[in-house]
Amino acid sequence: MRSQQSLAESFLFILLIVAIVGLLWLFSPFLEALFFAMILATATYAIYQKLLLKVNSETTASALMSVGVFLTVIAPVTYLLLEVGLQVGQVYGEAQHWLSMQTPQTFAEMNRNLVNIIPIPEDTQAQLIQQLHDNAGKIIKFAQETIVFLVRGVFGSTTSFLTFVLLAVFAMFFFYRDGHKIAQHLKVLSPLENHYDMMIMSRFSNLSTILLLSVLGVALVQGVTFATVAWLLGLPGLFLGMAIAVTSFIPVVGSALIWIPVASFLVFQGQYVEAGAVVFIGAVINGFLIDNVLRPILIRRISMTLHASGEGLEVANHTMMTILSTFAGLIHFGIIGLFFGPVIAALAITIFDVYALKHSDLLDRT
């Protein structure tokens, strides 16, 4: 009898694995959109609950929240990606044309003029100019390949992003309306104690909220700051501000992908004061103050509001984990992976913590 029961349990476990793998394979074209919708719905679920108290209808509140999130988050980001993608495509074409027109002689002459303004000894300038002249062809080829890599790596997923926007909005409606039922059902199916299930769900919810609000907040501040300065300098402030806002999602390099080429262009045009102002705003204001001072403050404030300070949010507060998980998400999922990477890393850390708590009596902590 016992062997028959064990055989039945093993068979049921195999069926469960087959069912999970089958569902993942079936929904694999939509997993990114569903995960994105789940992050957005989880991050804004507290607002949905407040709205539900006013309208007293789950269907109406879910519809209003889905439309609201689309208009305030998804639509602006989609527009930014489209606009920046179009502009970058145009700039990419012009840059490729300009590079194709360059010869080692013209490139060396341009570099000679640039090196002459650098405050270094004349013999060092001569050696640098000679090195640039000898490697001009390689430098031009490297510049062309770099432009192609940046365009494909950063903005190559703009079109694919549009394909799952509608699906994400559609899925958000059901995550809002049935989210509490889904969570309860997962707790029932999970063999873990309920407090461990709540620990995993709570940390996922808190990190989703912190990531969404901090990333969008920093992007808005950096974009508005740079757009204002660009407009005062006579540059296309709206476009540059949008480009800065989008690239601010990327850690470490971030908005430097925009302001360094802008400053270089101004230097080539002889506008050294304007170039210095762009470098100051990009490196000091956006790169240091906003990114390294304002972002941690914003994360701490949001964590305190959620009463989540110290609750396993290492990915949001740890620089190395943030950088690695964000870049990994960018590589695997494209631009939307900027959100996916840290969330997946945080879930992994949470599961490690659950394991450590559940088997604390078996672990050697000496």
For the CA atoms of 358, 315, 198, 193, the dihedral, rounded to the nearest 10 degrees, stands at -20
Cβ-contact 168, 175 below 8 angstroms? no
Q: Residue 265 is encoded by which pair of tokens?
A: 């262009």
Distance, CA of 296 to chain centre = 16
Cβ-contact 36, 339 below 8 angstroms? yes
pLDDT at residue 152 is higher than 70? no
pLDDT confidence tier of residue 147, bands split at 50, 70 and 90: low
**pLDDT of res. 175:** 92
pLDDT at residue 89 is higher than 70? no
pLDDT confidence tier of residue 121, bands split at 50, 70 and 90: low
Report the pLDDT averaged over residues 226-251: 81
CA distances from 311 to 209, 343, 346, 350, 360 (A): 14, 14, 11, 9, 18
Per-residue pLDDT tens for 302-311? 777 766 555 5
Closest by CA to 54, choosing from 69, 44, 64, is 64
Distance linking the first and last C-alpha atoms of the chain: 44
**pLDDT of res. 117:** 54
**pLDDT of res. 240:** 82
CA distance linking residue 315 with residue 321, whole number of Å: 5
pLDDT at residue 170 is higher than 60? yes
All residues at 6 or more sequence positions from 56 whose CB lies less than 8 Å from its CB, including other chains: none
Closest by CA to 179, choosing from 43, 70, 271, 310, is 43
pLDDT at residue 173 is higher than 90? yes
Cβ-contact 242, 255 below 8 angstroms? no
Q: What is the mean pLDDT of the chain?
A: 76
pLDDT at residue 330 is higher than 80? no
Closest by CA to 87, choosing from 215, 262, 226, 218, is 262
Domain ranges (residues) in the chain: 26-176, 213-309, 311-359
**pLDDT of res. 86:** 63
Q: Which of 107-111, 125-129, 291-295 has the highest mean pLDDT?
A: 291-295
Per-residue pLDDT tens for 234-246? 888 777 887 788 7
Q: In terms of pLDDT, which residue wins out, 266 or 112?
A: 266
CA distances from 161 to 30, 70, 321 (A): 12, 14, 25
**pLDDT of res. 271:** 82
Q: In terms of pLDDT, which residue wins out, 190 or 3?
A: 190
Q: In terms of pLDDT, which residue wins out, 81 or 194?
A: 194
Closest by CA to 143, choosing from 195, 170, 107, is 107
CA distances from 280 to 146, 222, 236, 285, 288 (A): 25, 13, 18, 7, 10
pLDDT at residue 21 is higher than 80? yes
Cβ-contact 263, 275 below 8 angstroms? yes
CA distance linking residue 30 with residue 9, whole number of Å: 32
**pLDDT of res. 80:** 67
The DSSP H or E segment spanning 307 is none
CA distance linking residue 222 with residue 316, whole number of Å: 19
Report the pLDDT averaged over residues 53-70: 90
Q: In terms of pLDDT, which residue wins out, 117 or 57?
A: 57
pLDDT at residue 18 is higher than 90? yes
Report the pLDDT averaged over residues 321-339: 74
pLDDT confidence tier of residue 176, bands split at 50, 70 and 90: very high
Per-residue pLDDT tens for 26-58? 988 888 888 888 888 888 888 898 899 999 889
Cβ-contact 263, 270 below 8 angstroms? no
CA distances from 85 to 121, 161, 243, 338 (A): 42, 12, 9, 17
**pLDDT of res. 282:** 86
Q: Residue 227 is encoded by which pair of tokens?
A: 């757009």
